[in-house]
């Protein structure tokens, strides 16, 4: 029964499956960034991918699971970014680079945003082990950098690291980026720089104290 070909065939099928699921998650990612979880409909997802709605449910059991998978992929991407930063960079430089990537992704319309508190997904996310694991690793990495930066004086040591961690995470859904983009007065790169600067230096200090 052509057992010798079975593995190859199986692998090919799996690749097709993976490819399809990647396409689905791409669509979900885009729609989550555009409209958020509550306003994203399964019909839209299916239409964007170009498949029937029922087929979605062969890959993902529910809308919540779809969002959770998308968010997990995003966190994995963020972890890759953190891992790819130059070792010689200071902790503060790494944190800035991550914020830069975050805002940029947001501006590209590729940052899925889930209502911070409330909504049904938050519980779904917490029950989704892969998501929680990625989140834990990211938090640990950032926490390490923050502590180092505080120890070296790059970051204020009398501000709780917790606050800094949340502040950095919050850049992913910062409406300031949307407002500035809508205004049209700044390029994406300028917007990113402005937000990075405001996040770390605030609004009182000078940009480059000579």
Using CB under 7 A, list all residues that contact DNA.
13, 17, 20, 40-43, 50-55, 57-59, 61-64
Binders of a second copy among 159-178, rule CB under 8 A? 159-160, 162-164, 166-167, 169-170, 173-176, 178
Give, in order, the Cα–Cα distances in Å from 169 to each of 48, 54, 93, 129.
29, 35, 16, 20
CA distance 41 to 194: 34
Give the nearer residue to a second copy in terms of CB position, either 10 or 140: 140
Among 180, 184, 188, 192, binds a second copy (CB under 8 A): 180
Using an 8 Å Cβ cutoff, are 81 and 101 in contact?
A: yes
166 binds, among a second copy, DNA, none (CB under 5 to 8 A by kind): a second copy
Burial 70-101 (b: 16+ CB within 10 A, else e): bbbbbbeebeebbeeeeeeeebbebbbbbbbb
Q: Considering the rule CB under 8 A, would residue 117 count as an interface residue with a second copy?
A: yes
Among 1, 54, 83, 185, binds a second copy (CB under 8 A): 185
- Please list the helix, strand and coil fractions of the chain in percent, rounded to the nearest 5, in that order: 75, 0, 25
Query: CB under 8 Å to 120, separation ≥6 — which residues?
Result: 64
Using an 8 Å Cβ cutoff, are 93 and 155 in contact?
A: no
77 binds, among DNA, a second copy, none (CB under 5 to 8 A by kind): none
Q: Considering the rule CB under 8 A, would residue 151 count as an interface residue with a second copy?
A: no
Name the residue among 38, 178, 173 with its Cα closest to residue 118: 38
Q: Considering the rule CB under 8 A, would residue 11 count as an interface residue with a second copy?
A: no
Give the nearer residue to DNA in terms of CB position, either 6 or 52: 52
Question: Which residues make up the interface to a second copy (CB under 8 A)?
Answer: 34-36, 38-39, 92, 115-119, 154-156, 158-160, 162-164, 166-167, 169-170, 173-176, 178-180, 182-183, 185-186, 194, 197-207
């Amino acid at each position: 029964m052509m057992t010798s070909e079975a593995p190859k065939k199986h692998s090919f099928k799996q690749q097709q499956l993976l490819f399809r699921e990647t396409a689905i998650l791409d669509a979900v990612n885009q729609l989550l960034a555009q409209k958020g979880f509550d306003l994203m409909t399964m019909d839209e997802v299916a239409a964007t991918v170009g498949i029937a709605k029922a087929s979605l449910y062969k890959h993902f059991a529910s809308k919540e699971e779809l969002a959770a998978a998308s968010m997990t992929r995003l966190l994995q991407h963020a972890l890759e970014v953190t891992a790819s930063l130059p070792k010689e960079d200071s902790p503060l430089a790494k944190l800035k680079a991550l914020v830069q990537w975050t805002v940029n992704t947001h501006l590209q319309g590729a940052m899925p945003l889930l209502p911070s508190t409330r909504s049904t997904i938050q519980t779904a996310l917490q029950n989704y082990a892969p998501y929680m694991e990625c989140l834990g690793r990211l938090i640990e990495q950032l926490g390490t950098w923050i502590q180092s930066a505080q120890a070296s004086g790059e970051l204020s040591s009398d501000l709780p690291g917790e606050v800094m961690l949340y502040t950095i995470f919050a850049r992913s859904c910062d409406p300031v980026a949307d407002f500035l983009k809508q205004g049209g007065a700044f390029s994406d790169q300028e917007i990113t720089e402005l937000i990075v600067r405001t996040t770390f230096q605030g609004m009182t200090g000078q940009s480059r104290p000579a």
